[in-house]
Amino acid sequence: DAGVTQSPTHLIKTRGQQVTLRCSPKSGHDTVSWYQQALGQGPQFIFQYYEEEERQRGNFPDRFSGHQFPNYSSELNVNALLLGDSALYLCASSVVRGPPRGANVLTFGAGSRLTVL
Amino acid sequence: KNQVEQSPQSLIILEGKNCTLQCNYTVSPFSNLRWYKQDTGRGPVSLTIMTFSENTKSNGRYTATLDADTKQSSLHITASQLSDSASYICVVSSASGGSYIPTFGRGTSLIVHP
């Protein structure tokens, strides 16, 4: 049973460019959330997708956008990249089985390491 | 503002010794608290999850405690092994309008020396 898979594992971009990161959730999971983890810091919540809609959003600018597909996979898009966007981007999946939704354990992928030059 | 503070920031111990990591939070309304282990270059892996009514939870050599009154949690590692070297992250979720938002601590970096 495959866990959460993310691609690409590493990528390098320059300032002003755009990037798309991809995530396939664990089999049986229907909710995907994205996190940004700067070096030496804890992950910061970007947003969460369920039923192909953004359900919750953290304190990130509109340059960060996402999408969830009918097969529950998800993309994270970042436009107009800044040097400060360099980080490990983590995707986590979980399953909604009724309240309390937040009690579901998040299964994380290995992350996509983005470097902005 | 919801915050999760972890201490110490880093810790070095010898193999076989015990250690305790601390987590203080100001998250409201509280839903649950989880401890994750994150190996270098990998995604976090869940160790324990506790809701308001639980004050202790064990997972092998890992034991987590929760004091909801003082808003403190600890993770105790018994008989440490070299493979315990990792970052340990405390995550507290708040409940609002039927949705749940996790707040992550910065983590404690644990190094176990032979």
Ranges under pLDDT 70 in chain A:
1-2, 96-104
From the CA of A40, how many Å to the nearest CA of chain B? 7
Contacts of B88 in chain A (CB under 8 A): none
Looking at residue A1, its pLDDT comes to 56
Ranges under pLDDT 50 in chain B:
none
Chain A contact for B46 (CB, 8 A cutoff): yes
Quote the tokens at residue A104: 């579901």
Looking at residue B98, its pLDDT comes to 57
B44:A110 CB<8 A? no
Chain B contact for A99 (CB, 8 A cutoff): yes
Contact B73, B6 (CB under 8 A): no
Chain A contact for B49 (CB, 8 A cutoff): yes
A65: part of which helix (H) or strand (E)? strand A64-68
The pairing of beta strand A74-78 with beta strand A19-24: antiparallel
Looking at residue B27, its pLDDT comes to 86
B101:A58 CB<8 A? yes
Looking at residue B31, its pLDDT comes to 83
**Among positive and negative, which fits the CA dihedral A70, A26, A43, B53?**
positive
The residue among B9, B93, B94 with the most chain A CBs within 10 A of its CB, best to mutate, is B93
Looking at residue A99, its pLDDT comes to 47
Quote the tokens at residue B89: 């992250």
Looking at residue B50, its pLDDT comes to 87
